[in-house]
Amino acid sequence: MDLPVILVMIVLIMAILLFIFEWVRVDVVGIIMMVILPLLGLVTPKEAISGLSSNAVVSIIAVIIIGAGLDKTGAMNVLARILLRFAGKSESRIMLLISGTVAFISSFMQNIGAAALFMPAAKRICKQTNIPVSRILMPMGFLAIIGGCITLIGSSPLILLNDVMKITDPEAAPFGLFAVTPVGLALVFAALGYFLVLGKLVLPSGQGEEMSGPMSSSLMRTYRDIGSLREIKIPDSFEQRSTLAELEIRPLFFVTVVSIAKAEGPINYTPMPEDLVGPGDTLAVNGAPDMIEKLAKANGWEIKEDLEIFAEPLSPNNAGIMEVIVSPRSDLTRSTLKSSEFRRKYGVNPLALFRGNKTYVAGLSTLILETGDALLLQGRWEKFHFLKEEHDLIFTEDVQGEILRTEKIKFAVGCLLLSLTLILVFHVQLSIALLAGALGMVLTKVMSIDEAYHSVDWMTVFLLGGLIPLGIAFEKTGAAKLIAESIMSMMGAVSPLILLTVIGLLTSFFTLVVSNVGATVLMVPLAMNMAGSAGADPRMAALVVAVACSNTFVLPTHQVNALVMRPGGYRTIDYFKAGSGMTILYLVVMMASIYLFYGVSS
């Protein structure tokens, strides 16, 4: 073993230890690799920074921007609402529908984004149907990871695959966008079947972390008697049609009507005192629970057990309660909410005013506002974003959500279709085709260039950019070939199928202790050398590595598993219990699919 090989092995061990013990962030590990490898003479300076301009890194940047554009226009929310209407109250149907949809979205969007997109909807459905959230979130997370294997742009290892293959064999034919689709679909259907048959045995029955309500915990401590959001149905037997002012709901019961849903027509999110309510209408109200019950009892109205009509529009994902302070320079000073037409102008509902040590709930519209007054407001997040731009009021907390550009939804979907068309029809290189779609998002003003830059996960970019030169050094010094020959000498003569199975097992282990990107860069050269020594197809060995890098279910080390862990109330033992069977199933289905669809001899 010569000096360059020894140095590469030392650097490799150092990288693995940094990944495992997290002494520095993973992107810093990538930067360390870019610096230390050329200093040791293991790669040239040009090779050290080549990863930042690689096809894989550019593709990942573009995919993230395209996904952010789809999210910013609400395209994914529209798809989610359409599909979730068919879920019903069946646990198995809800699990299959949510998990299957997330798997599909993960095929062209980062899996962490797909899981994050559906998690609020999944939690709301579980609450409404009394299904333990732990029965849904883990299958959804696992399928988000597996769905990334449906196309070559679904996960970082597959995006990276063609570039890392060329480190070992510059003449290797690249894989196409849908080259991995048969394996990915087989894995998706197998995973859905696994949870359908064994879900109740391997999944816990906990309710997970409580969903956040419309008000933050800090505000709840101050306004604990105000922030209860309930839905009230006015029965058909209620013959009287009256204005909100005539019903005196706020003066008598200290309750605020924040939305009105008529039998026909759009929901009114900022009801005015002169608005009429009557038989068949549904109200969303904020107030103390006991006062809401008194209001319903006094009028013969029905309080719903949970939000139904308003479950989506007034969910914590779309609306909430914020506290604002009247600033010294505000135009609202020395005026009233009524005279300034506050509700009509800003589209939010005043719930209370806090001045000195006293909280006012009734008579808000006629109180003269003073500098330092704290207003408690309810509304949809986009309205709060608009209000924040006016600079009349100071927000005491960060405004959640963002302003969705729903009018740009066609442009966002069009940009995605443009990229796919360039790849499939005109056979344009992956990075250029995806970059064209990302550029389209900016040119059509789906998002600004600053928003595009902000959406990119630069940590992933520098991690990739730093690990690619490590792969180059691993191959260039002969370390990959040396390790491959050592493993093959221990294994002896084996069939290509058994060799690929061993490679799949090794990769599955590596990806549990280092990032899936790191496992890809380290294992692809090693696997291709092993395949070459055994007379097997090196491309198939590389493909096995890229797919096996998604086999990360036993521990909550993957980003998606970490995302759902707390909301689902999971412990590490829960991942081991459900993930052990999934890991074995994944390997079996992956190898069977490669055997059937790619002609690997046994």
| Torsion 404-410-413-419 (CA) sign | negative
| Torsion 561-566-570-572 (CA) sign | positive
Q: Which residues of 415-428 are buried (b: 16+ CB within 10 A; e: fewer)?
A: bbebbbebbeeeeb
AA identity, residue 352: A
pLDDT under 50: residue ranges of the chain: 211
Residue 333, CA distances (Å) to 329, 340, 372 in order = 8, 10, 10
Class of the domain covering 320-395: alpha beta
Helix, coil or strand: residue 350: strand
What secondary structure does DSSP assign to 289-329, as a single string?
Answer: HHHHHHHHHHHT-EE-SS-STTTTTTSTTTEEEEEEEE-TT
Structure tokens at 97: 């529908």
pLDDT at 236: 87
From the CB of residue 356, how many other CB atoms can be counted at a distance below 10 Å? Answer: 7
Place of tokens 């062209």: 108
pLDDT at 579: 94
Helix, coil or strand: residue 600: coil
- Beta-sheet pairing, 228-233 with 282-287: antiparallel
Are 194 and 555 within 8 A, CB to CB?
Answer: no
Spatial separation of the C-alpha atoms in residues 270 and 568, rounded to whole Å: 34
Helix, coil or strand: residue 336: strand
Are 377 and 215 within 8 A, CB to CB?
Answer: no
Place of tokens 């109205």: 301
**Sheet holding 374-380: strands in order across?**
358-360, 349-355, 374-380, 319-326, 393-395
Residues 6 or more apart from 39 whose CB is under 8 A from it? none
Mean pLDDT rounded to a whole number for the chain: 88
Place of tokens 């609306």: 319
Are 554 and 512 within 8 A, CB to CB?
Answer: yes
Distance of alpha carbon 301 from the chain centroid: 39
Model-level pTM? 0.71
Spatial separation of the C-alpha atoms in residues 86 and 64, rounded to whole Å: 29
Structure tokens at 15: 């990288």
Residues 6 or more apart from 170 whose CB is under 8 A from it? none
Residue closest to 119 by CA, chosen among 76, 155, 157: 76
Paired strand residues for 375: 324, 353
Rounded to 5°, the CA angle 417-418-420 comes to 65
Domain boundaries, the chain: 3-208+454-471+478-598, 217-303, 320-395
Place of tokens 């990302």: 438
> What letter does residue 368 receive in the DSSP assignment?
B
Query: 391: left (phi > 0), else alpha (psi -120 to 50), else beta?
Result: left
- Beta-sheet pairing, 276-277 with 319-326: unpaired
pLDDT at 513: 61
Residues listed for the chain? 602
Spatial separation of the C-alpha atoms in residues 64 and 382, rounded to whole Å: 23
Per-residue HEC secondary structure of 412-470 comes to: HHHHHHHHHHHHHCCCCCHHHHHHHHHHHHHHCCCCCHHHHHHHCCHHHHHHHHHHHHH
Per-residue HEC secondary structure of 223-279 comes to: CCCCCEEEEEECCCCCCCCEEHHHHCHHHHHCCEEEEEECCCCCCECCCCCCCEECC
Spatial separation of the C-alpha atoms in residues 207 and 228, rounded to whole Å: 21
Paired strand residues for 380: 319
Backbone angles phi, psi at 360, to 5 degrees: -105, 130
pLDDT at 84: 63
Spatial separation of the C-alpha atoms in residues 101 and 80, rounded to whole Å: 8
Give the ranges where 358-429 is alpha helix by DSSP (H): 381-390, 409-424
Architecture of the domain defined by 217-303: 2-Layer Sandwich (3.30)
pLDDT at 211: 47
Are 115 and 144 within 8 A, CB to CB?
Answer: yes
Residue closest to 404 by CA, chosen among 61, 32, 77: 77
Residue closest to 285 by CA, chosen among 193, 172, 370, 361: 361
Spatial separation of the C-alpha atoms in residues 184 and 181, rounded to whole Å: 5
Around 416, how many Cα atoms within 13 Å sit in the side-chain half-sphere?
A: 23
Place of tokens 């109330």: 569
Rounded to 5°, the CA angle 47-49-54 comes to 90
- Beta-sheet pairing, 374-380 with 349-355: antiparallel
